[in-house]
Each structure stands twice: as structure tokens, then as C-alpha cells.
Amino acid sequence: MRSSLGKAELLIIKNKALAESIIILLVCVFTYAVSVEYDVLEAIVAFSAKHENWDVDELLTVGIVLSFCLSVFSLRRWKELSVTHKTIQRISDVDSLTQLYNRRKMTALLQTEIERGKRYNRDFSVILLDIDQFKSVNDTWGHQVGDTLLCEFSKVLLSNIRSADFVGRWGGEEFLVICPETNQEEALILAEKLRAKIHQYDFTLVGFKTASFGVAGYVGGGEEAILHDADLGLYAAKDAGRNCIRTNHSQLTATPFHGDIELIET
């Protein structure tokens, strides 16, 4: 199924699946009600007595076959509807252009990590990054080339994060990485790895590009707090000349990071 399905098309598919499920359920309920209200076996015997060409065993065989066919059909449709539901769920979670998680899904994942952090006192960090001078790509080569860059950029991110991490398109040329079980020092190391990989990648038509990063570790609070810290770092990285990583100095873990990453005071 195309990931670019519109909301109207998704609604039609979902409503059709719901209608079919209701019809199957009503047929099953109606069949059961009829069998309870009327003595089906007695009716079959009476029918057979009046129609010599139909024996009881033949009528029962027909009934059994019809019941089996209905059961098989119901099971088949249930499986198809289950697959359809999962597909629709996936489409609603994925950005249609980059095939990364969309903002809605990333927000839900972030909330999950915040709840885990509060309940179990577990570390996690976020990395907010932005393609440098992306607007100039659209202005110079057009939006189609810009879309191609976004897709290639997404693949670079996806191929260089860890298996436990989540990455999504946060909006426009901005991306978010959620790093479970990761303190800020470890997130800084991952961010530097991503920065270097992006800097070394030769993108189609536009050549080499860079990205700026803001990193924040969870120290309590809600979604807005940690995203605010990461956003401050990202803006500081832009102000510092791009292609670098910045973080809020007050969010550092006990062991400072000694790489080529500068920190900002807020």
C-alpha cells in the first residue's frame, strides 16, 4: 500500500473494514438467534419428510458445508482486516516522503521515554538536528531536489543510529533522534558520529552538506523541557557557524565530554 495515501483514502479504507466486520458479526449473531429461536434440526427433519428427494443427512451436509464456508470466509476477512489495520497504523506513524517516523509518532515515543525516566529513574537523551542552508537548495535546484536531499539525508541517519534509537522527521528539514538508556555524554558521541557521516556524504546533485545539532539529556520535567534544551543547543550551533554540536552546560552528566564539542551556558 502506498505510504502517500491521503487522509480521505485512509478514512475510506478504515470505514470499509469496519463495515465488513460489523456485517460478519451481524450474520453470525443472526444465524445463532435463528438456531436458538427455532429448532433447526426439527425443521430439517420436517422438511425432509415433506420432500422425499432430500434426505436428512444431505440437508445436514449442506448446512455443515455452508457453516464451514462462512467460518473460513470470516476468518480470512478477519486476517485481511487485521493486516489492513496494521498497515493503516504504520502509514499514520510514518512520514510519507522520508519513510521515517513522523512528528506524531516521535512525540508518542518521547512521552513513553519520559514516563520511563520518571518511574524508573532511567537515562535518555534527544538529538535535534537541522540540515544547514536547506532553503538555498530549494531556491537553487527546486523542491524536487530538496525532497531528494531529505530522503538521502534520512537514509544516512537511519543507517548510523543504534538499533535501540528512534529517528523521525520533526518538521521541514529538522530531525529528532531519541536515545533510550543513554546519558547526555553518550548522546554527544552519537551526535558527533552522525555529524561526521553527514559531512562526508556526497548527496545527489547538491554535493556535500552539513548539519547542526542540539543535544539534551533528560533531567526531569516534561516534553517541552527537554526539547527546549535541545532547541537552545541547535540555535547555538547555527549561531556558531553550523556543522557543529551544542548543548546546555547545565545538563551535562558528572563526567564531561572531552571531544570537539562546545557547550553553552543558559
DSSP for residue 248: B
Query: Which region holds residue 132: left if phi is over 0, alpha if psi is between -120 and 50, else beta?
Result: beta
- Residue 248: what pLDDT? 78
Give pTM, 2 decimals.
Answer: 0.69
Annotated catalytic sites, by residue?
Answer: 173
CATH of domain 103-251: 3.30.70.270
Q: Which residues contact 141 (CB under 8 A, 6 or more apart)?
A: 205, 206
How far apart, in whole angstroms, are the C-alpha atoms of residue 12 and residue 99? 22
221 three-state secondary structure: coil
**What are the 10-residue block averages of pLDDT along the chain, 266 residues in total?**
47 64 69 58 61 57 67 70 64 93 97 96 97 97 97 98 97 98 97 98 96 96 95 95 85 39 42
